[in-house]
A and B are shown apart, each in its own frame.
Chain A
Amino acid sequence: MAKHFGATVAVKDVDLTVEKGEIVAVVGHNGAGKSTLLRCIGGFETPTRGTIAVAGIDVNPLTVQVARRLGLRSVRQELSLPTSLSAVECALLIRGKRMDTWQARRHVERSIESLFGEMFGRDMPNPRQHLTNWEFSQRQLLEVCLAFLDYKEGCRVVLLDEATSALDADITERLLRWMRGISESYGVAVLISSHRLHELVGLVDRAVVMADGLIVGSAANENVTEAKLVELMRAGMVQARARADSRVAAEGSGGARDKPLSVEHSQSERRDGATLIEVTNVAIHPSVQGATLRVDAGEIVGIGGLEGQGQSELLRWLYTHLGRRNTPISRIRGASVLRRSARRDSSAASRPGLVTGDTRREGVFPYWSVRWNTSIKARTQLGRLGVVRSREERSVVDALLGELAVKGRPEQNIMELSGGTQQKVVLCRALLDRPTVLLLDDPTRGIDAATKDEIYRLFMDLAKSGVGLLWYSSEISELRHCDRVYVMRGGYTVGELKGGEVDEQVLEMSFSHA
């Protein structure tokens, strides 16, 4: 099976069989294709190529309703239960049966309550209460519970797509043991995608490792260990890189991937040593538990790790806190934050710039031209008494757009440009007021390769001119362009690596359970 999203290939070519009563784990680093695979099986996406067969019969088209009828139940990381309903009402909604009698409702209520207790070892909150009153973690437990509600009858396969990510380790362990039990007794198969490898050990029949849209290996029974899985991922990553390199060589494009740009970069003299960001043991509720990092002027510092480990939250926090003038040493939850401006002589406090990867939602202003999209942040340079200085806007903005080789005319509507170009515009916006430190939240997500290379070069140039960059990337290979790389896991910075070919170390640090 394969799944393409336009030019992006999420799943390249996957063959997978799940037997009755098997518990199969799908693991891999960011962007490996695990979620896409599970979404295709659950009927949320249609494969671009290939077939999905349930109980021996090819199903086409496999929609969500068809999947449910065939006994496939999906639980995803984002909660999907409507919060204005109660647990009982949700259960009835899912089953699609009309339960007018109070006996039937009582029956469902009792089933959910007992199942909940069985699965998680604790009491459920009031099933007649609206879900808005429940905590997030309780709602997640309920979703998993409801997926298994008819495990004795119609349920065949339960697909858990990172569904346990927010749950405590002891609950997850108990859940997995329970699932072990019922799959042996009732033949329910489970396909679980998770990055918490240690939970899977000893509880799954088979673990399948994905990388770069392919299945690169698997392990069964007692061979399912954290070390083995990380090793398979590593091998997969190496193969992926080899494939990419040979593709580049075949195309003869010469420029981009000859050598990691960071090698070029580290050879140049750009450090003037001023520390722009230094945080020690910062905690930001609820996602960052303890982050320690430092960024000096002229450095490109990367942050790696699996998605959702607190990287974005840290960057946004830095963005709001570094911007405040004369931030003194402040104590935040027992941590200390120290900011020293690189330019002690400038009257304006050194401002950070932030660029996010979610261009569509947090980047572009869709009704505006490229020019207006770029200038929106530059009020101090381009405004006088609240009025926009149009001529200045035109010259300054157009010059910057030209410098960064942004395709398209400045007066063109931004939505007419490609995603990569839009992102470059957002970058221009951040650069217009000359930030001294640039915070990048996965900025090259979903962008075409050529534009990515342009952006990497831009980062190099910025670093050469003394800007400090703090760059979170969900794609390991990008971190090769950095001078130093921190890896975040579970809200902590778990390691600092010197720049260069750090792919495999980042991979290991993303997973290992210290």
Chain B
Amino acid sequence: MAKTRRPIEPLLWLLFSAGGMASAMLMPALVFLLGLAFPLGWLGAPDYDHLRTLMLHPVTRLVLFGVCMLSLFHWAHRFKYTLYDGLQVKHLNELLNTVCYGGAIVGSIVAAYLLWR
């Protein structure tokens, strides 16, 4: 029997890796500010006009899309293999692929729609 080859695996790993790097670089500061410091009143939340100018800028949208898309593929890869190895559910491989990578693809499309509609 021929060994199963998945030529797409290196691409998925590259996306996982890029997403891991992007989320590790950007997210700690963002989750600290947006998730903790602003809601808890440690720091004043940015005023609306400033944030609007910042977030609607084409470069910001592009960066946000990159971070969102890569981070979703990062999640897909890690989460799939956590279930695959952690729960040892090799027989559910197809389902895991669909849910994880499919979820990342759908999520990226939703992100693009929200950012540029």
User: Is chain B a partner of chain A in the same complex?
Assistant: no
The residues of A with any CB-CB pair to B shorter than 8 Å are none
The residues of B with any CB-CB pair to A shorter than 8 Å are none
